[in-house]
């Protein structure tokens, strides 16, 4: 397919074009699902191979000290910190986003003991709501009672009964972005602590946790941070809470002296108290290496390209009459959305499968949404152009009606690989 010179010129002048070479991307594939799983970086592949063959293979248990494995949770946390607007020493990498949310939610409730309501959004990412429900089952509703409202009702429900406001900055379906500064400030005026889930923010948006005076945050290591499948997540806790914060998963690595093997638990200093079990070293070193791709980059530069890529996509969709049945459900104003676009279509699942089969990797969200991710480190303007060209062909030729593109769309299970 012929790519317009104007589009190729955008790639030529792209200040981030050199970053694409740091990723191992499949040939002849447009990868638009980095918001679900970031691709492998060359650095991560080499680092994991070296750790497996040399550190684990040759140095064995000595690597905990010789290669500073024991320090990786804080080391990786300090690499993530500038990506989320946090001073060093306030971020640690460990466990999964869900487990970390459980920890910080319990901690926030303990810091606000005269209240019990956890306020969240009805279309928050489900696992966040599940973790709050699980904590409520454990503590009882008198100590933890989840209240879910619509986005429009959030501000009106910030009152003196609420202990914690728990929100995801970027909506996983629509890509809509909350005003972190505004909501955090309004919550604090009511004595409410605030937890932000940055799963679709970290590495894609400019995030200012310290400036917004956020209390706690959690985030994902395998999406825009490219740490690999199941990569460790991270926790942010504002310095002002470090002396008093606690968390219930008091495992041995969170102890002040883990190798003293004391009978009773004594929490470690600051962020170390959020550790639980033995760190997953192979996953941590992959994430550690992958984060180097952000070295020397300004997040504003990433954000600008992300917007430009998505605007090109929207313009092409809007200008193509055969795609009129695709309904944009993401905010049209780029300031109000993350690094993804969501389109609704009655045949969304089949179209997404046809796109994948034609080497445009997107994902489906039940019941009827196709999600396109725009990761500026490796996605080119010509990739966006080609993706729309393929989408046009699939829709105009009704290729998505082929039986092989049908599947269990309620579960979002792909038939095409």
DSSP string covering 106-170, please? HHHHHHSTT--EEEEETTS-HHHHHHHHHHHHHH-TTT-EEEEE-GGGTGGG-STTEEEEEEESB
Q: Are residues 323 and 393 in the same domain?
A: yes
pLDDT at 142 over 50: yes
The reply to whether 285 and 304 lie within a common domain is no
Instruction: Provide mean pLDDT across the span 339-368.
Output: 97
Active site residue 313: no
- Annotated catalytic residue: which of 33, 197, 288, 383? 197
Residue 409 pLDDT: 53
**CA count, 13 A, side-chain hemisphere, 18:** 6
Are 304 and 289 in the same domain?
no
% of the chain with per-residue pLDDT over 90: 96
Q: Domain limits at 130?
A: 47-294
Among 270, 294, 318, the domain-final residue is: 294
In a domain, 410, yes or no: no
Give the list of residues 6+ apart from residue 393 with CB closer than 8 angstroms, or none: 358, 399
Helix (H) or strand (E) holding 361: strand 360-361
Catalytic residue among 79, 103, 273, 371: 371
Is there a domain that residue 31 lies in? no
User: Tens of pLDDT along 10-52?
Assistant: 999 999 999 999 999 999 999 999 999 999 999 999 999 999 9
* 32 assigned to some structural domain: no
So what's the pLDDT on residue 398? 95
Tell me 224's DSSP state: T
For residues 411 and 327, the model is more confident at 327
What's the rounded Cα separation, in Å, for the pair 1 and 400? 20
Out of 47, 79, 115, 223, pick the active-site residue: 223
Q: Which helix (H) or strand (E) holds 63?
A: helix 63-66
pLDDT tens digits for range 48-97? 999 999 999 999 999 999 999 999 999 999 999 999 999 999 999 999 99
Question: 106 or 411: whose pLDDT is higher?
Answer: 106
- pLDDT above 80 (res 329): yes
* 270-293 tens-digit pLDDT: 999 999 999 999 999 999 999 999
CB-neighbour burial class of residue 40 (10 A; exposed 0-12, middle 13-18, buried 19+): middle
**Residues 381 and 242 placed together within one structural domain of the fold:** no
Q: Is 363 a catalytic residue?
A: no
**Residues 162 and 229 grouped into a single domain:** yes
Same-domain check for residues 214 and 75: yes
173 belongs to the catalytic site: no
Same domain, 317 and 284: no
Domain termination residue (choose one: 294, 310, 338): 294
Can you tell me the mean pLDDT for 338-362? 97
pLDDT tens across 145-194, in order?
Answer: 999 999 999 999 999 999 999 999 999 999 999 999 999 999 999 999 99
What distances in angstroms separate CA 145 from CA 105, 135, 142, 155, one per listed residue? 12, 9, 7, 18
Q: Which residues of 125-158 are buried (b: 16+ CB within 10 A; e: fewer)?
A: beebbebbeebbeeeeeebbbbebeeeeebeeeb
DSSP line for 240-252: GGTTT---S---G
- Answer yes or no: is pLDDT of 417 > 50: no
Residue 413 within a domain: no
Q: Which of 125, 172, 294, 372 is catalytic?
A: 125
Is residue 136 located within the same domain as residue 268? yes
For the question of residue 102 being annotated catalytic, the response is no
273 in catalytic set: no
Give the CATH number of the domain where residue 178 resides: 3.40.640.10
Sign of CA dihedral 360, 168, 179, 301: negative
Under 8 Å between Cβ of 321 and 369: no
User: pLDDT at residue 395 above 60?
Assistant: yes
Residue where the block lists tokens 């991307």: 25
Q: Are residues 227 and 131 in the same domain?
A: yes
Boundary (domain end) residue, out of 294, 327, 359: 294
User: Are 75 and 170 in the same domain?
Assistant: yes
The verdict on 167 and 269 lying in the same domain is: yes
Q: Tell me, yes or no, whether 250 and 345 share the same domain.
A: no
Q: pLDDT grade, residue 393 (50/70/90)?
A: very high
What is the pLDDT of the chain when averaged over all its residues? 96
Q: Which of 222, 236, 343, 374 is catalytic?
A: 222
What is the per-residue pLDDT across 205-264, written as a single tens digit (0 to 9) for each?
999 999 999 999 999 999 999 999 999 999 999 999 999 999 999 999 999 999 999 999
How many domains in the chain? 2
């Amino acid at each position: 397919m012929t790519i317009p010179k104007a589009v190729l010129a955008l790639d030529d002048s792209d200040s981030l074009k050199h970053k694409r070479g740091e990723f191992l991307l499949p040939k002849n594939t447009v990868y638009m699902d980095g918001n679900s799983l970031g691709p492998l970086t060359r650095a991560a592949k080499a680092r994991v191979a070296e750790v497996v063959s040399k550190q684990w293979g040759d140095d064995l248990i000595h690597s905990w000290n010789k290669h500073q494995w024991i320090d990786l949770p804080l080391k990786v946390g300090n690499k993530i910190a500038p990506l989320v607007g946090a001073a060093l020493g306030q971020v640690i990498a460990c466990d999964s986003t869900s487990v970390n949310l459980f920890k910080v939610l319990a901690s926030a409730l303990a810091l606000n003991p005269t209240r019990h309501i956890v306020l969240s959004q009805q279309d928050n990412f489900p696992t966040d709501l599940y973790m709050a429900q699980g904590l409520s089952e454990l503590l009882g509703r008198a100590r933890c009672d989840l209240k879910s409202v619509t986005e429009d009702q959030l501000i009106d429900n910030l009152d003196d009964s609420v202990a914690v406001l728990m929100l995801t900055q970027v909506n996983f379906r629509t890509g809509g972005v909350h005003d972190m500064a505004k909501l955090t400030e309004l919550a604090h005026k009511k004595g409410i602590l605030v937890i932000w889930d940055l799963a679709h923010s970290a590495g894609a948006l400019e995030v200012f946790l310290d400036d917004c005076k956020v209390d706690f945050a959690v985030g994902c290591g395998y999406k825009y941070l490219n740490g690999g499948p199941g990569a460790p997540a991270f926790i942010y806790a504002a310095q002002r809470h470090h002396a008093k914060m606690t968390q219930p998963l008091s495992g041995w690595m969170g102890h002040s002296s883990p190798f003293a093997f004391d009978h009773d638990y004594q929490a470690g200093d600051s962020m170390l108290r959020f550790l639980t079990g033995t760190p997953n070293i192979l996953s941590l070193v992959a994430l550690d290496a992958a984060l180097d791709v952000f070295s020397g980059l300004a997040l504003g530069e990433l954000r600008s390209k992300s917007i430009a890529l998505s605007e090109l996509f929207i313009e092409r969709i809007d200008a193509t009459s055969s795609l009129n049945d695709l309904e944009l459900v993401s905010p049209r104003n780029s300031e109000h959305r993350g690094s993804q676009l969501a389109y609704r279509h009655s045949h969304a699942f089949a179209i997404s499968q046809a796109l994948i089969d034609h080497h445009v990797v997107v994902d489906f969200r039940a019941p009827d949404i196709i999600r396109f991710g725009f990761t500026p480190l490796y996605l080119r303007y010509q990739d966006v152009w080609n993706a729309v060209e393929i989408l046009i062909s699939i829709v105009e030729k009704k290729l998505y009606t082929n039986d092989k593109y049908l599947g269990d769309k309620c579960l979002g299970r792909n038939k095409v690989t």
